[in-house]
Amino acid sequence: MNPGLARALRFMGLNAVEKTGHEAIIVDEEGNQYIDCAGGYGVFVQGYQNSRIVERAHQQLDQLSLSSRVLLNRPMIALAEELARLTPGDLQYSFFCNSGAEAVEAALKFARIQTGRPRIISTYGAFHGKTLGALSVSGRDTYRQPFAPLLPDIIHVPYGDAQKVAEVMDDQVAAVIVEPIQGEGGVIVPPDEYLPALRGLCDQHGALLIADEVQTGIGRTGRLFAVEHSGVVPDLMCLAKALGGGVMPIGAVVGRPSAWTFFDSAPLIHTSTFGGNPLACAVAQEALRVTVEDDLPQRAATLGVTLLNGLKQLQGRFSRAITDVRGRGLMIGVEVPSAGVGGALISELFQRHVLAVYTLNNDRVIRMVPPLVITAAQIDQVLKVWEQALSAIEPMLDDLIEG
Ligand SMILES: Cc1ncc(COP(=O)(O)O)c(C=O)c1O
């Protein structure tokens, strides 16, 4: 499929083929078990093959999987109602699609049509997906440059600094798009006042605030939605990944009524053949139910502190190999001095059956985004394996740092 990727995986010793999974564990064809801290880039909030979610999928599969697209379907209606209930403030309407990038594409179009303005403000280091529109608001040149020219009228500013947004904000701006915590940028947690300040600027200039919660959403950061940490209600919220419960792909844009009036006169202006299919919607509704009933956000908050503190202690002992540990809930980034150190650590972790990967826009950060159903004993095991991996690379550290 992708010989270059195959070579890279082989070079790092990542040569196993996955076969099945349960809770925080993925099992390869040889029967080896791995604690998954890569979590499908943050997908497996409710764990692999969560039995309630799989059961709901089986039921819906027997009844109706895809939609006629002419008639409505109950799972889609129920999911929209549930999202309206669970999302903050007056976020009320949902558009359903099949991935994070599609949710971002939709949100960008909604912002432009709703405001009648062209310009979007985004941030350096942002990751919003790899389709052309989503790529245009993403912030890493490596992925952008080969596809230029991208969408016009996109302005990038440094992340976490509302003043930089204020400097470019005017009445041509349709929206500011932002991740509440930058995931692929290297797990960057902004100052507490950042999102409220962006909300204020958008209100002042009649622009929409788009929160991309594709990675932070559905419990990962210790709240169901990461914007809840700051009490900010965005105009449009993008969801995907964990919304599918680790069983089905699904994406969604949830919007406030004031950001959704364009559909009144143009109901077919944005559509998706597979979006809102009953199978994915039934699964997503069950995924939300499991997340809330099992209080997975609280679990992320509590276990996140254990993992963060454990990694910080290791940073104290291995301060040349780990330069920073940061994050919120079970979204944690471990910064290393070079991509070489990161690669060696990922390989050592894998050999000891812990899966972890780089963040896509920052190869000096290894992300730790395990399923929220990971146990305290598994976190202890992960920390033990980190210690062994750090000890194993110590003799090679000078070479690895120099690259
Ligand atoms: C914040 C954010 N937005 C959008 C995306 C794109 O999602 P997908 O890969 O489902 O297109 C990602 C994927 O990592 C993401 O982290």
**Cβ of 99 less than 6 Å from ligand 1:** yes
The reported pLDDT for the residue numbered 187 is 97
**Cβ of 92 less than 6 Å from ligand 1:** no
Instruction: Note the pLDDT tens digit of each residue in 181-238.
Output: 999 999 999 999 999 999 999 999 999 999 999 999 999 999 999 999 999 999 999 9
Nearest Cα to Cα of residue 382 among 29, 39, 41, 12:
39
The reported pLDDT for the residue numbered 10 is 86
Domains of the chain, with CATH numbers?
3-49+295-402 (3.90.1150.10), 51-293 (3.40.640.10)
Q: Are 95 and 241 in contact (CB under 8 A)?
A: no
Distance from the CA of 372 to the center of ligand 1, in angstroms?
Answer: 19
> How far is the CA of 105 from the CAs of 120, 130, 210, 232, in angstroms?
12, 10, 11, 22
The reported pLDDT for the residue numbered 249 is 98
Task: Please name the residue whose Cα sits nearest to atom 16 of ligand 1.
Answer: 215
Cα 179 from Cα 57, distance rounded (Å): 30
Q: Which among 215, 236, 359, 360 is the best mutation to test ligand 1's pocket, defined by most ligand atoms within 8 Å of the CB?
A: 215
Q: What is the dihedral sign for C-alpha 226, 229, 232, 233?
A: positive
- Give strand ranges (E) for 23-172: 25-28, 33-36, 93-97, 119-123, 154-157
- Cis amide linkage into residue 267, ω under 30° from 0: no
The reported pLDDT for the residue numbered 15 is 84
**Residue ranges in the chain whose pLDDT is less than 50:** none
Nearest Cα to Cα of residue 110 among 235, 195, 217, 224:
235
Task: Write out 168-192 in H/E/C secondary structure.
Answer: HCCCCEEEEEECCCECCCCCECCCC
Q: Are 136 and 154 in contact (CB under 8 A)?
A: yes
The reported pLDDT for the residue numbered 42 is 86
Q: Are 302 and 296 in contact (CB under 8 A)?
A: no
Cα 30 from Cα 18, distance rounded (Å): 9
Identity of residue 394: E
Containing 11, the helix (H) or strand (E) segment is: helix 3-11
The DSSP secondary structure of 287-345, one letter per residue, reads HHHHHHHTTHHHHHHHHHHHHHHHHHHHHHHSTTT--EEEEETTEEEEE-SSHHHHHHH
Residues assigned a catalytic role: 127, 212, 241
The reported pLDDT for the residue numbered 400 is 93
The reported pLDDT for the residue numbered 8 is 86
Distance from the CA of 129 to the center of ligand 1, in angstroms?
Answer: 5
The reported pLDDT for the residue numbered 62 is 98
